[in-house]
Amino acid sequence: MNKNILLVFFVLISYGCNISINKSNEINIYSQRHYDSDKMQYKKFEEKTGIKVNVTKAGADELIQRLKNEGDNSQADLFITVDVGKLWQASDMGLFQKFDDKKVFNNIDPQFLDKNGYWVPLTYRSRVVVYSNERVKKEDLSTYEDLANEKWRGRLLVRSSSNAYNQALMSSLVANLGPDAVTSWSEAVVKNFARDPKGSDRDQVKAIAAGQGDIAIVNSYYIGLLLSSKKEEEISAGNSVSVFFPNQGEGERGAHINVSGIALAKNAPNKENAIELIRYLTSVEGQETYVNNSYEYSVNPNVKPDQIVQAWGEFKKDPVDLNMLGIKRDEAIRIFDKTGWK
């Protein structure tokens, strides 16, 4: 009898020791984001909570493959990317666990939430058309579809088709218009390129400033980053263009948006800490850090855009289910390849 009591006591003590040994005051993040605003976020969170934030940065595909390879042994708690298509891909591979937290959901406008419950948006951005203030009039622009018009022959600047932002835009077009119509559209758009696709979104704007093209497809926040830059060349490039949100007319669907989002890894060892960070990032304080430093739009309805972004005015957003930007991704890539969009 005494031996049994001692045995139970020993097991309980050992179990308690293991709990204290395994309990961690940290979070491990796999992140594609590369903005200064994120460093600010994690520093503020560490100061508030005492929880250390460890970040592993790489491309989304590399991080997804790493999560897959690590399997049950992964130490990742959170996965962050700048493209909802990658969030959908990873969730479809079974790399995330479902997320349900009232405090987080109360922070977020429902229109941006994942209907399947696997990821949470942190910010959103629009893929807009920017145009030369010297060579293009606002009334010359209308829709994404109109970029196929031959009036833009030799005037359109774009990134490579391998870029996730362009893939997301093409996926949204496939979801809205169908693959046949989008294939014809892409064939015409390619004929309007001012040069072979190359460079970043910032480079497209700089090319307009240099007179190499008249319009470009870019993410909205890059204009904010250019205008707030410490480099005179970038400020000048930002001031050389204006922002146009396509498909804003009556009966039109609205401008394409994409989200930067976060997901809880399937085997997150520090789940409670991870949820606490998501609560902070989606709070008013966390969202203000994003919008005032990265010039993205907030998913929290209580947070206004930065003044630079407010100057562009409000816009109507394409209401398509954001997961379609992942579901239609393979079809979008096939269209890029078929139509010669390099």
Give me the pLDDT at residue 18, please. 38
Cα–Cα distance for residue pair 324/318, rounded to 1 Å: 12
Give me the pLDDT at residue 70, please. 94
Residue 258 pairs in a beta bridge with 125
Range in 18-27, 176-185, 309-318 with the lowest mean pLDDT:
18-27
Cα–Cα distance for residue pair 26/46, rounded to 1 Å: 9
pLDDT tens sequence across 11-67 = 444 434 333 334 579 999 999 998 888 999 999 999 999 999 999 999 999 999 999
Which among 60, 86, 63 has a CA at the least distance from the CA of 323? Answer: 86
Can you read off the two tokens belonging to residue 248? 């804003």
Residue 317 pairs in a beta bridge with 255
Q: What is the mean pLDDT of residues 152-178?
A: 97
Positive or negative CA dihedral for 331, 332, 334, 339?
A: positive
Q: Give me Rg for the CA atoms of the chain.
A: 23
Answer whether residue 341 shows pLDDT above 60: yes
Q: What is the pTM of this model?
A: 0.90
Q: What is the mean pLDDT of residues 91-113?
A: 95
Can you read off the two tokens belonging to residue 278? 């998501």
Percent of the chain with pLDDT over 70: 93
Can you read off the two tokens belonging to residue 289? 């850090």
Residue 259 pairs in a beta bridge with 124
Which among 238, 261, 209, 203 has a CA at the least distance from the CA of 308? Answer: 238
**Confidence band of 99 (pLDDT split at 50, 70, 90):** confident
Cα–Cα distance for residue pair 10/12, rounded to 1 Å: 5
Q: What is the mean pLDDT of residues 112-117?
A: 95
Give me the pLDDT at residue 19, please. 35
- 162 touches 168 (CB < 8 A): no
> Using H for helix, E for strand and C for coil, what is the string for the chain?
CHHHHHHHHHHHHHHHHHHHHHCCCEEEEEECCCCHHHHHHHHHHHHHHCCEEEEEECCHHHHHHHHHHHHHHCCCCEEEECCHHHHHHHHHCCCECCCCCHHHHHHCCHHHCCCCCCCEEEEEEEEEEEEECCCCCHHHCCCCHHHHCHHHCCCEECCCCCCHHHHHHHHHHHHHHCHHHHHHHHHHHHHCECCCCCCCHHHHHHHHHCCCCCEEEEECHHHHHHHCCCCHHHHHHHHCEEEECCCCCCCCCCECEEEEEEEEECCCCCHHHHHHHHHHHHCHHHHHHHHHHCCCEECCCCCCCCHHHHCCCCCCECCCCCCHHHHCHHHHHHHHHHHCCC
Terminal C-alpha separation, the chain? 78
Can you read off the two tokens belonging to residue 213? 């093209």
Residue 28 pairs in a beta bridge with 54
